[in-house]
Structure 1
Amino acid sequence: MRRALDALYLLTAWIAASSLIAIAGLILAQVSLRAFGSQLQSADDFAGFALVATTIVGLAPTYRHNAHIRVSLLIERFAIGTPVRKLLERLVTAVSAVLVGWAAWNSVHFVYESYIYNEVSQGLLPIKLWYPQTLMAFGFIVFFIALVDDLVTDLLGGTQSHLAHAAAGDEMPVEK
């Protein structure tokens, strides 16, 4: 199960990175085509869709590698390993899982409604909105899975992934 989850988190990291590269490619293409008096139709729509994919789909891998910005004013008041700190870390992870689960549920419902009502973008190219929205829902679902994964790991006596990376001083690793 661990290998499957790690593969899922790696997949989301690759999707987020690919979306970021797509944004750069769209911008480069737009700048180049403007020099010749042309443009890509709906490039700003595609860049917006890629930005959402980069941001939302990238949540799980950045969380697991301790690359999120955390507001830890209260938690840092307690020494690492103390019962109060462990309880607070579990509580924060549990509340985060509930909130992200709610976001995932609503995102899936949002995609479903866009599909049922056949909503399309308002740009020059009519794009069915449920296509890019699916990446948003997928990102929230995987982030929810990552939070539940860490909570279960913590409750079974392990260390949450972001805390393990923080303790080791790791940055986001480059996969080989």
Structure 2
Amino acid sequence: MRRALDMLYRAAAGLAALCLVAILVMVAVQIAARLLDFALVKLGLPPTRFIVPSLAEISGFLLGAATFLALADTLAKNVHIRVDLLTTRLPDGVRRVVDGIVALLGAGVSGFATYAMAALALKSLSYNDLSYGMVAVPLALPQAVLALGLLILTVALVDEGVLAFTGNDRITGGGASV
């Protein structure tokens, strides 16, 4: 089970990385096209006027996807910033219980957000909602990806809660603290 969960978190992080690479490629193509047009104009030639349609909008969708898909992996690797002024002063047993309760409360909030985002995606799908950019993107697609990221985060939070209650938590293993 541990291997399957870690693979799920890594796969989501891999998809997040691919989203960031897609943003990089689109922006690089747009910049290259602008530089080419500048050079062509300086040489007295007509510019290509090439643009990446809906660049800002699609980049926004990809950034949202990257953010939400990476949440579970960063939680599992204990690289989220944690405010632990109180919990570091607690005895280990009490700290584990507090960490477990907090993780399960977070799972509840994340679970509700997952439900709400999935319901929004289904509603957008039923109404055939489209974005307003030059490229009409069905809004259910980015919404579904956000719901998937939230679902994986919910699983990771339940996982962290279970690990904390069983004394196998990764919280004491390091990570950013405040």
Aligned residues: 164
Maintained 8 Å contact 1:33/1:40: no
Which residue of 55, 79, 93 corresponds with 1:43?
55
Q: Which residue of 1 aligns with 2:107?
A: 97
Q: CA deviation at 1:135?
A: 1.0
Residue 173 of structure 1 corresponds to none
For 2:164 and 2:80, locate their aligned partners in 1 and report how far apart those are by CA, in whole Å.
19
8 Å CA contact 2:125, 2:140 repeated in 1: yes
| 1:78 positional shift | 2.1
TM-score w.r.t. structure 2 length?
0.85
The corresponding residue for 1:29 is 29
The residue that corresponds to 1:9 in the other structure is 9
Equivalent residue, structure 1, for 2:41: none
* Partner in structure 1 of residue 129 of structure 2: 119
Query: Which residue in the other structure is 1:20 paired with?
Result: 20
Higher Cα Rg, which structure: 2
Within the alignment, does 1:69 sit opposite 2:81 as a pair?
A: yes
1:148 is aligned to 2:158 = yes
Please list every run of 5 or more consecutive structure 2 residues that lacks an aligned counterpart in the other structure. Answer: 38-48
1:160 lines up with 2:178 in the alignment:
no
RMSD, matched Cα:
1.7
Secondary structure at the aligned position of 2:147 is classed as helix
Displacement, 1:87? Answer: 1.9
Q: What is the SS of the residue equivalent to 1:63?
A: helix
Identity among equivalent positions (%) equals 34
SS of the counterpart of 1:62?
helix
The residue type paired with residue 160 of structure 1 is D
* Residue type of the alignment partner of 1:9: Y
Partner residue, 2:65? 53
Letter in 2 for 1:139: G
- 1:78 to 2:90 alignment: yes
Q: Deviations over 1:123-142 (max 9, x none)?
A: 01111111121110100000
Aligned residues of 1:13 and 1:61 also touching (Cα < 8 A): yes
2:96·2:167 contact (CA, 8 Å) conserved in 1?
A: no
